[in-house]
Amino acid sequence: MTRTKVAVIGSGNIGTDLMIKVLRLSQTLEMGALVGIDPDSDGLARAKRLGVPTTSDGVDGLIALPGFEDVRIVFDATSAKAHVANAAKLEPYGKQLIDLTPAAIGPYVVPVVNLDENLDAPNVNMVTCGGQATIPIVAAIGRVTPVHYGEIVASIASKSAGPGTRANIDEFTETTTAAIEAVGGAKRGKAIIVLNPAEPPLIMRDTVLCLTDPLDEQARRHITESIEAMVAEIATYVPGYRLKQEVQFTELAADEPTHTLAPDLEAAERCQVSVFLEVEGAAHYLPAYAGNLDIMTSAALRVGETLAARSVQAGGLSAEAQR
């Protein structure tokens, strides 16, 4: 089987975990390079031991590497600011970029929601870990009834938030909020992140709260089924993704102060749909409590494999046409 060569920019936790996933799990992708800026990083040392080409000279070093021309897909696991510069340097070379930072140069992509719509985009954005975990739930509710307001709270272990995550807290909330609306379909969105310092570290927990119109028993059943189906689909590439408890429905009277959440929402009877999730990491490189990083790398791997498969198929069709 022909494998598509990929490069990963960023030799920190996320980039190294993604490299390990490509090496261990993927039947269609091949590591072409791991790129960093710290020659002493554990990620680059590990890549060298595994026989993966490396450079500590950033994107300039990647471009100069032998075999760069064979790299078709580049994952960027650096920071929002760095990705802007990286994307500009790589643009002339026609690589397809998968952005794991909150830079959001390209369209937001959540594999189970809208990947098929963005297969031709030269740069796709993986939103955030909280977005990957929660936006599908908002979309699952939206398949049944309009979501007037969608709020997500992502609680992650403080130890799993490295320098890149901490430097991008503002971008995390802004990007996730925008994607709740653009991808999840909520009329208004809000995102909150909590860095939990508890010891021992807790695995990722996510809460999704959505305001809808009043729901009868049939609609509630359909929403629950839609959410459970979405959770099962995500679990095919993030095995530690699961519902923490049953979906909850709370009736809200017309005089409830929902305007504090969505100022433009008219006073009326509503229903609050509450969904509680947890994400346990696969521990390929990172501890199991770092589910927030695992869901990002797992989702990015799914996107990379899908893009690679489409590229191979398109090449095959082209060859057939030429014959």
Closest CA to 21 of 50, 1, 58, 41: 50
Q: What is the pLDDT of residues 172-230, one digit of tens each?
A: 999 999 999 999 999 999 999 999 999 999 999 999 999 999 999 999 999 999 999 99
Residues noted as catalytic: 129
Q: What is the pLDDT of residues 253-306, one digit of tens each?
A: 999 999 889 898 999 999 999 999 999 999 999 999 999 999 999 999 999 999
Q: What is the pLDDT of residues 58-74, one digit of tens each?
A: 999 999 999 999 999 99
CB atoms within 10 A of CB 3: 15
Which pLDDT belongs to residue 316? 43
Which pLDDT belongs to residue 296? 97
Which pLDDT belongs to residue 1? 67
Q: Is 73 helix (H, G, I), strand (E, B) or coil?
A: strand
CA pair distance 17, 286, nearest whole angstrom:
7
Q: What is the pLDDT of residues 201-212, one digit of tens each?
A: 999 999 999 999
pLDDT over 50 at 323, yes or no: no
The pTM score is 0.94
Taking the CA of residue 69 as centre, how many other CA atoms within 13 Å lie in the half-sphere pointing to its CB? Answer: 1
Which pLDDT belongs to residue 320? 30
What CATH superfamily is the domain 4-126+292-322? NAD(P)-binding Rossmann-like Domain (3.40.50.720)
Instruction: Please compute the mean of the pLDDT values over residues 104-131 and round it to a whole number.
Output: 96
Higher pLDDT, 200 or 313: 200
pLDDT over 90 at 317, yes or no: no
pLDDT over 80 at 319, yes or no: no
CA pair distance 35, 15, nearest whole angstrom:
9
Higher pLDDT, 61 or 320: 61
Which pLDDT belongs to residue 314? 67
Which pLDDT belongs to residue 167? 83
CA pair distance 79, 96, nearest whole angstrom:
18
Instruction: Please compute the mean of the pLDDT values over residues 158-174 and round it to a whole number.
Output: 88
Q: Highest-confidence range of 231-235, 312-316, 318-322, by mean pLDDT?
A: 231-235
Average confidence score pLDDT of the chain: 94
Closest CA to 58 of 72, 42, 44, 73: 44
CA pair distance 142, 138, nearest whole angstrom:
6
Q: Highest-confidence range of 161-170, 210-219, 312-321, by mean pLDDT?
A: 210-219
Fold of the domain spanning 129-286: Dihydrodipicolinate Reductase; domain 2 (3.30.360)
Q: According to DSSP H, which parts of 143-264 are helical?
A: 163-167, 169-182, 217-234
Which pLDDT belongs to residue 315? 63
Which pLDDT belongs to residue 23? 98
Q: What is the pLDDT of residues 227-253, one digit of tens each?
A: 999 999 999 999 999 999 999 999 999
Q: Where are the domains of the chain?
A: 4-126+292-322, 129-286
Q: List strand residue ranges (DSSP E) for the chain, in order.
A: 4-9, 29-35, 54-55, 71-76, 96-99, 123-125, 149-157, 189-196, 204-212, 241-243, 248-252, 270-279
Q: Is 56 within 8 Å of 79 (Cβ atoms)?
A: no
Q: Highest-confidence range of 128-142, 257-271, 303-317, by mean pLDDT?
A: 128-142
